[in-house]
Structure 1
Amino acid sequence: MSRPLIVVRPEPGLSRTAARLRAGGAAVTQWPLFAAAPVAWEAPDPARFDALLVTSANAIRHAGAGLARLAALPVIAVGAESAAVARAAGLAVAATGDGGVAQALVAARAAGFLRPLHLAGREHVDSGQPTVIVYASADLPADAPAFAAAAAGGIVLLHSVRAARRVAALVAKRGGTGIAALSPAVLAAAGSGWDIALAAPLPTDAALCALALERAIDRAAGAGDKTA
Structure 2
Amino acid sequence: MTGGPPLIVTRPEPGNAATAGRARAMGFEVHAMPLFAAHPLDWRAPAAEDFDALLLTSAFAARLAGPQIARLQALPVHAVGEATARAAETAGLRVTMRGAAGAQQLLDAMASRNIRSILWLCGRERTGFDARGAAITPLPCYAVDPVPPPAAWAGLIAAPAVLLAHSARAAERMSDLVGAARAHLSLAAISPAAAAAAGEGWRDVAVAERPDDVAILAQARALWHKGAK
Q: Is the structural similarity TM-score above 0.5? A: yes
Q: 1:143 Cα shift?
A: 6.3
Query: 5+ unaligned residues in a row in structure 2: which ranges?
Result: none
1:108 Cα deviation after fit: 3.0
Structure 1 pair 25/218, CA: closer, same or farther in 2 (3 Å)? farther
The answer to whether the 8 Å contact 2:34/2:150 transfers is: no
Distance, in Å, in 1 between the alignment partners of 2:84 and 2:150 is: 32
Q: Does 1:132 align with 2:139?
A: yes
- Any idea what SS the aligned residue of 1:9 has? coil
Which among 174, 179, 184 is matched to residue 167 of structure 1? 174
Quick check: 1:21–1:213 contact (8 Å CA) kept in 2? Answer: no
Conserved? CA contact 1:34–1:140, under 8 Å: yes
Q: Distance in 1 between matches of 2:75 and 2:91?
A: 13
| Inter-partner Cα distance in structure 2 for 1:25 and 1:143 | 23
Instruction: State the SS of the aligned residue for 2:38.
Output: strand
Identity %: 45
Mark the runs of 5 or more structure 1 residues left unpaired by the alignment. Answer: 222-227
Identify the residue that residue 208 of structure 2 maps to in structure 1.
Answer: 200
**How far apart, CA to CA, are the structure 1 residues paired with 2:104 and 2:179?**
34
Question: What secondary structure is seen at the aligned counterpart in 2 of 1:82?
Answer: helix
Asked whether the equivalents of residues 100 and 204 of structure 1 are also in contact (C-alpha less than 8 Å), the reply is no
Written as runs of structure 1 = structure 2, the 5 A alignment for 1:23-34 is 23-34=25-36
Assess if the C-alpha contact under 8 Å between 2:186 and 2:223 holds in 1. Answer: no
CA distance in 2, matches of 1:3, 1:114: 48
1:150 matched to which residue of 2? 156
Q: What is the deviation of 1:65?
A: 2.2
Give the letter for the 1:40 counterpart. Answer: D
Residues matched between the structures, number = 220
Contact 1:5 1:156 in 2 (8 A): yes
| 2:91 paired with 1:89 | yes
1:1-228 map, 5 Å: 1-109=3-111, 113-127=115-129, 128=131, 129-142=136-149, 146-151=152-157, 152-173=159-180, 174-217=182-225
Q: Distance in 2 between matches of 1:101 and 1:209?
A: 20
CA-atom RMSD, angstroms? 2.1
